[in-house]
Amino acid sequence: AEPRPIAMVTTLNGYACQRRTPLQHHNAVLTDALLVLAEKAEFSENEGRSVALRAASVLKALPHTVINMENLQGLPCLGEHSQRVIKEILEDGKSREVEAALHSEQYQAMKALTGIFGVGVKTADRWFREGLRHPSDVASSGHRLNHTQQAGIQHYDDLNMPVTKAEADAIGQIVKEAVQAVLPGAEIILTGGFRRGKPTGHDVDFLITHPEEGKEEGLMPKVVSWLEARGLLLYQKTNRNSYLEATEGSARPPNNMDRFERSFSIFRLDMPGAGPERHPQAALLEQAQDDSSVGGRRVGESWDWKAVRVDLVVTPFSQFAFALLGWTGSQLFERELRRWAGQEKHMSLSSHALYDSKQKRYLRASCEEEIFAHLGLEFIPPCERNA
Ligand code: TTP
Ligand code: MN
Ligand code: MN
Ligand code: MN
Residue 231 CB partners (closer than 8 Å, separation 6+): 268
Question: Do 281 and 269 form a contact (C-beta atoms < 8 A)?
Answer: no
207 alpha carbon – ligand 1 mean position (Å): 12
- Could you report the per-residue pLDDT of 137-169, keeping only the tens digit for each? 999 999 999 999 999 999 999 999 999 999 999
125, 137, 158, 203: which one is catalytic?
Answer: 203
Amino acid at 93: G
pLDDT band of 291, cuts 50, 70, 90: very low
Lowest mean pLDDT among 16-20, 170-174, 197-201, 282-286: 282-286
CA distance readout (Å), 91 to 33, 84, 102, 296, 384: 14, 11, 20, 45, 30
Q: What confidence category does residue 293 fall into, taking pLDDT thresholds of 50, 70 and 90?
A: very low
Protein residues whose CB sits closer than 6 Å to any atom of ligand 1? 192-193, 198, 201-203, 205, 258, 326-327, 329-331, 334, 351
Residues 348/255, Cβ–Cβ less than 8 Å: yes
Cα separations (Å) of 365 from 59, 198, 319, 321, 333?
A: 32, 26, 8, 6, 19
pLDDT > 60? residue 285:
no
Q: What are the pLDDT digits (tens) for 34-60?
A: 999 999 999 999 989 999 999 999 999
Check residue 250 and give its pLDDT: 47
Whether the per-residue pLDDT at 280 is higher than 80: the answer is no
Give which of 100, 131, 91, 101 is closest to 113, Cα–Cα.
131
Catalytic hit among 137, 270, 311, 356: 311
Any idea which of 13-17, 19-23, 107-111, 287-291 has the lowest mean pLDDT? 287-291
Q: Is the pLDDT of residue 275 over 60?
A: no
Among 216, 204, 211, which Cα is nearest to 314's? Answer: 216
- Please, what are the domains in the chain? 16-101 (1.10.150.110), 105-154 (1.10.150.20), 164-317 (3.30.460.10), 319-384 (3.30.210.10)
Q: Whose CA is nearest to atom 18 of ligand 1?
A: 329
Could you tell me which of 45, 97, 122, 50 has the C-alpha nearest to residue 336? Answer: 50
Choice from 57, 311, 312 to test ligand 1 binding pocket (greatest atom count within 8 A of CB): 311
**Ligand 1: residue whose CA is nearest its atom 29:** 327
DSSP-assigned letters across all residues of 52-86:
HHHHHHHHHT-SS---SGGGGTT-SS--HHHHHHH
Total count of residues recorded for the chain: 387
- Mean pLDDT value across residues 282-289: 50
Q: pLDDT per residue over 239-271, tens digit each?
A: 988 786 655 444 455 545 678 899 999 999 998
ipTM, 2 decimals? Answer: 0.94
User: What DSSP string describes 279-323?
Assistant: -HHHHHHHHH-S-TTSS--EETTEESEEEEEEEEEE--GGGHHHH
Q: Taking a C-beta distance cutoff of 8 angstroms, is the pair 344, 330 a contact?
A: no
Burial 261-287 (b: 16+ CB within 10 A, else e): bbbbbbbbbbeeebeeeebeebeebee
Indicate the residue type of 285.
L
Instruction: Using alpha carbons, select from 304, 224, 313 the residue that is nearest to residue 269.
Output: 304
For the stretch 152-157, contacts whose Cβ atoms lie closer than 8 Å and that sit 24 or more positions apart, written own/partner, are 152/116, 152/117, 152/118, 152/119, 153/116, 154/293, 154/294, 154/295, 155/117, 155/234, 155/235, 155/266, 155/295, 155/307, 156/115, 156/116, 157/295, 157/296
To the query of whether residue 169 is one of the catalytic residues in this protein, the response is: no
Catalytic site includes residue 311: yes
Question: Which of 39, 189, 200, 203 to probe ligand 1 with, by most ligand atoms within 8 A of CB?
Answer: 203
Ligand with an atom nearest the CA of residue 162: 1
When pLDDT is cut at 50, 70 and 90, the band that residue 1 belongs to is low
Q: Count of H helices and E strands in the chain?
A: 17, 12
Known active-site residue 32 = no
Q: Is the pLDDT of residue 349 over 90?
A: yes
User: How sure is the predictor about 292, in pLDDT bands with cuts at 50, 70 and 90?
Assistant: very low
Nearest residue CA, atom 20 of ligand 1? 327
Atom of ligand 1 nearest to the CA of 331: 18
Q: Is 200 helix (H, G, I), strand (E, B) or coil?
A: strand
Q: 3-state DSSP call for residue 370?
A: helix
Q: To the nearest 5 percent, what fractions of the chain are helix, strand and coil?
A: 45, 15, 40
For residue 237, name the pLDDT band (cuts at 50, 70, 90): very high
